[in-house]
Amino acid sequence: MSRDRTGDDEFDVLRSKRDATRYQILVQIAERQPAVNQREIAEPIGVTAQAVSDYLGDLIEEGYVERHGRGRYEITKEGVDWLISRTESLRGFVQHVSEEVLGQVEVETALASTTIEEGETVSLAMRDGVLRAMAGATGNATAVAVTAAATDQDVGITNFEGVVDYELGTVTIVSVPRVQNGGSAAVDPSAIAAEADAHDLLAVAGVEAVVATRNAAVEPDVRFGSVAAVPEAATKGLDVLLLATPDALSAHTDRLREQNVGYEVVDAAEQ
């Protein structure tokens, strides 16, 4: 094996199994030197003594470790420098994960159903597709507010416990024929209006579908990005009515199946 280049990526110790093992071996030697045998190094890091022997041969050749007889190894200044450089990069990476990654993941946003004080325990519920927070630990799912909020304002929450109890929504897809097959004129406006009333959200895909909603005097909630928006709304508990032309159907149904969202497809002529 060849000597590591000083210009290696700073997180190689995480990306490379070889460097990760070298790092652990050097740590074990630094902790136990000078009286340390290969088995004592191998056991804590979960490799064989033979593997340690192979790595040690390379580390000695590179000048990171010195051998002072059987079962006596010592890390050199070069080895310490290599270990420090990797430790510093790991420390920076851990700080980045802790402060910038986990910090973002752990804080969610909810809509305050009551006045909430910073640091207060809140109960969580999903209503109308929006996560709601209410002062007090009375629900199945709770969290702690990291910001204060008035009623109907956004509030930051963390330290989640329990499970937010709500049912997944369903999707009803009305297939609206292309214009050469009758288009929006083949759709009964009163039936569409009634279906829209029975659902929480109305989405459209295709010009014929847009016109069909206008003929029914209903305004779609989603006109763009419906392939992603429809299953997302359903997974948040909303029942969705989707009017789509046949050429747009497969993209929607594929995504719904991927996300395990229940749906049914009906022909506009049956409405």
- Domain assignment present for 237: yes
- The per-residue pLDDT for 7 is 39
pLDDT at 40: 87
CA distances (Å), origin 68, targets 21, 26, 35, 40, 73: 22, 16, 9, 16, 6
Q: Treating both helix axes as pointing N-terminal to C-terminal, what angle do 17-32 and 38-45 enclose, rounded to 10 degrees? A: 130
Task: Find the angle CA(80)-CA(86)-CA(90) to the nearest 5 degrees.
Answer: 140
Joined tokens for residue 41: 């190094």
pLDDT at 5: 37
146 and 207 in a single domain? The answer is no
* pLDDT value for 166: 77
Question: Is the pLDDT score of 188 beyond 50?
Answer: yes
CA–CA dist 90, 84 (Å, integer) = 10
Report if residue 7 sits inside a domain.
no
Q: Which residues contact 204 (CB under 8 A, 6 or more apart)?
A: 210, 212, 213, 220, 222, 223, 226, 242, 243, 244
Residue 3 pLDDT exceeds 60: no
Query: Could you give the 3-state DSSP secondary structure of residue 267?
Result: strand
176 and 239 in one domain?
A: yes
Tell me, yes or no, if the pTM score tops 0.75. no
Choose from 23-32, 68-77, 135-144, 147-156 the range with maximum mean pLDDT.
Answer: 147-156
CB neighbours of residue 91 within 10 Å: 10
Would 102 be classed as within a structural domain?
Answer: no
Q: Domain tally for the chain?
A: 3
Residue 89, domain member (yes or no):
yes
Beta strands 240-244; 171-175: pairing state = parallel
Task: Mark whether 176 and 266 lie in a shared domain.
Answer: yes
CA-based diameter of the chain, in Å?
A: 92
Tell me the CATH number at 248: 3.40.1010.10
Residues 27 and 91 in one domain: yes
Say yes or no: 41 and 76 in one domain. yes
> Cα 146–149–152 angle (5° rounding)?
130
Instruction: Based on the fold, state whether residues 48 and 82 are members of the same structural domain.
Output: yes
Query: For 96-106, what is the mean pLDDT?
Result: 60
142 CB-near residues (< 8 Å, 6+ apart): 121, 122, 123, 124, 160, 161, 162
Q: Residue 183 sits in which domain range?
A: 171-270
Query: Which CATH number fits the domain that encloses residue 40?
Result: 1.10.10.10
Please check whether residue 247 lies inside any domain of the structure.
Answer: yes
Q: Provide the 8-state DSSP code for 15.
A: H
CA distance 102 to 13: 21
Does the pLDDT value for residue 2 go beyond 50? no
In a domain, 2, yes or no: no
| Residue 6 covered by a domain | no
155 and 187 inside one domain: no
**36, pLDDT greater than 90:** no
Q: Are residues 147 and 83 in the same domain?
A: no
264 lies in the same domain as 197:
yes
Q: Is 190 found in the same domain as 128?
A: no
Residue 202 lies in a domain: yes
Sequence-distant (6+) residues with CB within 8 A of 216 are 187, 189, 190, 192, 193, 196
